[in-house]
Amino acid sequence: MVSVLKGRGFKTPWHLRVLYLSTFILRTAFGALLLLISSYVAGDVNPLLTVAIIAVPYPLAEMATASYFGILSDRTGRKTIIVAGTTLATVVVALYTLSDNVWYLTTLHGIHGIGAAATVAPAIAMIADHADSCDRGRQMGWFDYSTFLGYIVGAVIGGFLIDLVGARIGFVIIAGLLAISAIMLYALVKKEPVKSKSDYRGGFKELKRVFKARDVKLMFPIWLIIATLLGIAITYLPIIMLNADISGSTIGLMFAAAGVAIGLLQPFWGKVSDIIGRIPVMAYGVFSILGIIVMLLAFPNSAFDFTDEGIDFHIGGLIPLAIFGLGAGAFVPSALAMMADSSDSDCYGATMGLYSFALGFGAFIAEGMGLMIIVMTGEEGAPDWLLFFAAALIGVAVVLMIVFFLANLIRRKLKAGPKAESR
């Protein structure tokens, strides 16, 4: 396994290592914010509804601007856009401290989404620029691993910040982390030459060009569903757990355990997809997520229970949940590598803008539908209905993944037929 993670004769360029470290710091900050914002508004009459209102503009703004920043990075260079987006996020997080007014936080959170869009697509495009096609899955795995690991560590930091210093001072500390990330990128990553001098008006033509790839068209709806499930988890789980009188530090540690299970093998799954193909690894990831949700629905207390004394773990339920969790991280790095494989090198930014668009759109659906579910079912019934919604989504994803797999299998057989006849 170690040899797989290292790659066969491929080394990770220095500037990509800096990018991964900066991404880790950036996502650590974002992971902490998920808990800090929940704590910030926990004293409201309807905290779950308040979090839903604040959360919606972030993915909407990211979705609306992701493709623009991806295409712009093709024109002006990756580094400039990533540093600008990180700097904007730094300023916004510092401004969170000025007021806990719902509409003020909602506005800032939308601006924060613009900063996030400016960091994601150009960063992945930079990896596609510099990673060999036979090593691309592994490098995408390292990027996704730095993202997941950041969320893990961020959740732990956010939980302890809630208990030790409170949300307001926590925002200041997180703004400092983001500033470190921006400085690191600016100082240590070289500005790469611009690929094209054409302007943004051609951007939508480039997006159409990306969607002409059959694999991208078939895979994209599945990625939207995965992003929606991720949005449900990171938006609503913290405030649901805080409402259940679980301490911030305990929530952080639980997020860490789940994140380790999901993110630990990201580079491994990326490299496996380099060796055996993207689609089988993506399918394994989708079915692993299905396993997690089925366990939560059919055996809700099989892995752990919340008691007055704390959390009571059950080893018999934890083992299958952990196995599914390890596989749940297989989809993203293989899907990212497939998107890069299917794209021309001069429009990697546009392609990865689709990835960021999917993140934003999925989170927007998660938070918009979550808001609707909360309004319709009330705060007490909302957690169960959110889980039912997640189950319906993963069911659709499984069907789409099977169609994707069969379509590629049929296409390969049709291609193999004429070759066999010619022999």
Task: State the Rg of the chain over Cα.
Answer: 21
* Residue 362 and residue 224 in contact, taking contact as beta carbons nearer than 8 Å: yes
If one compares 306 and 204, the residue with the highest pLDDT of the two is 306
* Residue 66 and residue 107 in contact, taking contact as beta carbons nearer than 8 Å: no
Q: What percent of the chain has pLDDT over 70?
A: 77
- Max mean pLDDT among 77-91, 206-220, 249-263 falls in 77-91
- Assigned domain for 1 exists: no
- Of residues 215, 231, 308, the one with CA closest to residue 56: 231
pTM score: 0.67
- Assigned domain for 55 exists: yes
Alpha carbon distances (Å) from 58 to 77, 173, 238, 314, 351: 25, 21, 17, 37, 21
Alpha carbon distances (Å) from 252 to 151, 160, 208: 10, 7, 41
Residue-number span of the structural domain to which 393 is assigned: 12-191+201-422
Range with the poorest average pLDDT among 88-92, 134-138, 313-317: 134-138
Q: Look at residue 95 and tell me whether its pLDDT is greater than 80.
A: yes
What's the mean per-residue pLDDT of the chain? 77
11 in helix, strand or coil? Answer: coil
* Residue 336 and residue 124 in contact, taking contact as beta carbons nearer than 8 Å: yes
If one compares 266 and 401, the residue with the highest pLDDT of the two is 401
145 in helix, strand or coil? Answer: helix
**34: amino acid identity, one letter:** L
- Assigned domain for 90 exists: yes
- pLDDT tens digit sequence for 150-203: 777 787 788 888 888 888 899 999 999 899 889 988 888 776 655 554 444 444
Question: CB within 8 A of 376, min separation 6: which ones?
Answer: none
CA distance 354 to 67: 6
Q: Look at residue 419 and tell me whether its pLDDT is greater than 60.
A: no
Q: Look at residue 7 and tell me whether its pLDDT is greater than 60.
A: no
Per-residue buried b or exposed e for 143-181, using 16+ beta carbons within 10 Å of the residue's own CB: bbbbbbbbbbbbbbbbbbbbeeeebeebbebbbebbbbb
- Assigned domain for 43 exists: yes
The helix (run of H) or strand (run of E) holding residue 305 is strand 304-307
Sign of the dihedral through C-alpha 406, 411, 414, 418: negative
Please give the average per-residue pLDDT across 60-85, as a whole number. 82
Residue with tokens 């994209």: 220
Question: CB within 8 A of 397, min separation 6: which ones?
Answer: 222, 225, 226, 286, 289, 290
- pLDDT tens digit sequence for 119-143: 877 887 787 777 766 676 677 767 7
- pLDDT tens digit sequence for 317-336: 778 877 887 788 888 888 87
**334: amino acid identity, one letter:** S
- The CATH number assigned to the domain holding 241 equals 1.20.1250.20
- Assigned domain for 349 exists: yes
Residue 224 pLDDT level (bands cut at 50, 70, 90):
confident
Alpha carbon distances (Å) from 298 to 110, 230, 301, 323: 37, 20, 9, 17
- Assigned domain for 83 exists: yes
- Assigned domain for 5 exists: no
- Number of domains into which the chain is organized: 1
- Assigned domain for 106 exists: yes
307 in helix, strand or coil? Answer: strand
* Residue 321 and residue 373 in contact, taking contact as beta carbons nearer than 8 Å: no
Please give the average per-residue pLDDT across 13-38, as a whole number. 80
Tell me the two tokens of residue 177.
Answer: 């982390």
